[in-house]
């Protein structure tokens, strides 16, 4: 079960490639025309899209607008307006949302606002495995509106866009605050892709064929990937979270999807030890073959490493 907040362009294809018809997913986006298009072209019956802004009902109380919109009082060190990406958009007279996500049509936004805590309750969704959040500046609001879901719905992982700079406030939309909240709720950072933006005073080459990231410049944004580190022996005691077999297998799958086969192997090795099921041994052997290029068994692979770790030094 996947929840995707900020689903313009559709839920990433790798989810369907990996899980096929077994995938259940809900994608949210405020662009009405884009949501209509996605619902007509979705590849699997288990995927649906909802036109809605996703946030937190009490965010104005947590971070008052009077302070939020006062960069001096909040000591906001954001520098994105001074980037070459903004300068390029101005020079191209480009409305990125209109041209890229709305096929040149006038942008129509929904007036519907939801919090994930309320949505999963009303929709009867009893368990969520993964949450992806990409809202271009309101990501922490989505997290805060999903506090109960993240604690009680057995969510295994979160992929969230994070700003590196912003206001000095416990609930401003910055990586520091997002990381603090997710760690409190039992999630650990496993990956972080950083995006650089050159200043408008000396533009650099764009990374893609859009006015956005550049090859050099100040770090502005990142895509952070968090998981529950269920293989830790003290995890259940630390976070009062006991995962069943099915959840642990799904976690191993998610680790594999996000390029963390070593973390997947740790979960599978633990399951092999706990259950004695040789199926997990077979999976471990396949991981060694696929990711380490060795046709030996997983057990022999570790024996070879322990006998001579220098074999793993760069040649």
| CB contact at 8 A, 227 and 257 | no
Question: Could you write out the DSSP letters of every residue in 32-95?
Answer: HHHHHHHHHH-SSTTEEEEE-EE--TTHHHHS-HHHHT-TTTTT----GGGBHHHHHHHHHT--
Domain 2-227 fold:
Rossmann fold (3.40.50)
Instruction: Please state, in angstroms and rounded to a whole number, the distance separating the CA atoms of residues 21 and 46.
Output: 7
Which ranges of 204-311 would DSSP assign to H, the alpha helix?
235-239, 245-257, 261-275, 278-292, 298-307
Number of neighbouring beta carbons within 10 Å of residue 128: 21
**Which residue's entry shows tokens 């662009």?**
31
Instruction: Please state, in angstroms and rounded to a whole number, the distance separating the CA atoms of residues 198 and 80.
Output: 9
**What is the per-residue pLDDT across 161-186, written as a single tens digit (0 to 9) for each?**
999 999 999 999 999 999 999 999 99
| Average confidence score pLDDT of the chain | 93
pLDDT of the residue at 93: 86
Q: Answer yes or no: is pLDDT of 98 > 80.
A: no
Instruction: Please state, in angstroms and rounded to a whole number, the distance separating the CA atoms of residues 138 and 96.
Output: 18
**What is the per-residue pLDDT across 269-315, written as a single tens digit (0 to 9) for each?**
999 999 999 999 999 999 999 999 988 999 999 999 999 999 999 98
pLDDT of the residue at 41: 87
Residue spans of the domains in the chain: they are 2-227
Picking from 177, 155, 174, 158, the residue whose alpha carbon sits closest to that of residue 166 is 174
pLDDT of the residue at 79: 95
Q: What is the pTM of this model?
A: 0.93
Query: Residue 13, class by beta-carbon neighbours within 10 Å (0-12 exposed, 13-18 middle, 19+ buried)?
Result: exposed
pLDDT of the residue at 152: 83
Instruction: Give CA separation, 27 vs 31, 37, 50, 75, 246, in Å.
Output: 12, 12, 6, 34, 24
CA geometry: angle at 133 spanning 212 and 7, to 5°?
75
| CB contact at 8 A, 302 and 311 | no
**What is the per-residue pLDDT across 12-40, written as a single tens digit (0 to 9) for each?**
999 999 998 899 999 999 999 999 999 99
**What is the per-residue pLDDT across 146-160, written as a single tens digit (0 to 9) for each?**
999 998 888 999 999
For residue 234, is it left (φ>0), alpha (ψ between -120 and 50) or beta?
A: alpha
Instruction: Please state, in angstroms and rounded to a whole number, the distance separating the CA atoms of residues 142 and 160.
Output: 10
Q: Answer yes or no: is pLDDT of 259 > 60.
A: yes
Q: When comparing pLDDT for 107 and 234, which is higher? A: 234
Picking from 221, 208, 206, the residue whose alpha carbon sits closest to that of residue 163 is 221
Instruction: Please state, in angstroms and rounded to a whole number, the distance separating the CA atoms of residues 310 and 59.
Output: 53
């Amino acid at each position: 079960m996947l929840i995707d907040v900020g689903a313009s362009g559709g839920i990433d294809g790798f989810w369907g490639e990996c899980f096929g018809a077994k995938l259940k997913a809900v994608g949210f986006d405020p662009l009405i025309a884009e949501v209509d298009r996605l619902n007509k072209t979705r590849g699997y019956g288990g995927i649906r899209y909802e036109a809605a802004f996703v946030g937190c009902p009490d965010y104005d109380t947590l971070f008052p607008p009077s302070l939020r919109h006062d960069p001096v009082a909040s000591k906001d060190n954001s520098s994105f307006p001074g980037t070459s990406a903004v300068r390029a958009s101005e020079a191209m007279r480009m409305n990125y949302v209109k041209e890229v996500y709305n096929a040149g049509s006038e942008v129509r936004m929904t007036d519907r606002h939801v919090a994930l805590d309320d949505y999963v309750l009303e929709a009867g969704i009893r368990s969520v495995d993964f949450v992806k959040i990409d809202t271009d500046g309101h990501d922490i609001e989505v997290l805060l509106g999903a506090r109960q879901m993240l604690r009680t719905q057995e969510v295994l992982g979160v992929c969230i866009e994070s700003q590196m700079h912003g206001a000095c406030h416990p609930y401003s939309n910055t990586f520091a605050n997002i990381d603090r909240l997710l760690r409190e709720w039992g999630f650990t950072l496993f990956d972080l892709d950083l995006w650089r933006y050159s200043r408008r005073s000396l533009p650099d080459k764009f990374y893609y064929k859009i006015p956005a990231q550049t090859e050099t410049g100040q770090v502005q944004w990142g895509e952070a990937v968090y998981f529950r580190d269920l293989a830790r022996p003290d995890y259940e005691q630390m976070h009062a979270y006991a995962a069943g077999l099915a959840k642990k297998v799904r976690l191993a799958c998610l680790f594999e999807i996000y390029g963390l086969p070593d973390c997947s192997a740790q979960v599978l090795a633990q399951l092999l030890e706990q259950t004695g099921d040789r199926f997990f041994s077979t999976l471990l052997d396949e991981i060694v073959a696929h990711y380490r290029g060795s046709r030996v068994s997983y057990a022999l692979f570790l024996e070879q490493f322990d006998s001579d770790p220098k074999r793993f030094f760069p040649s």
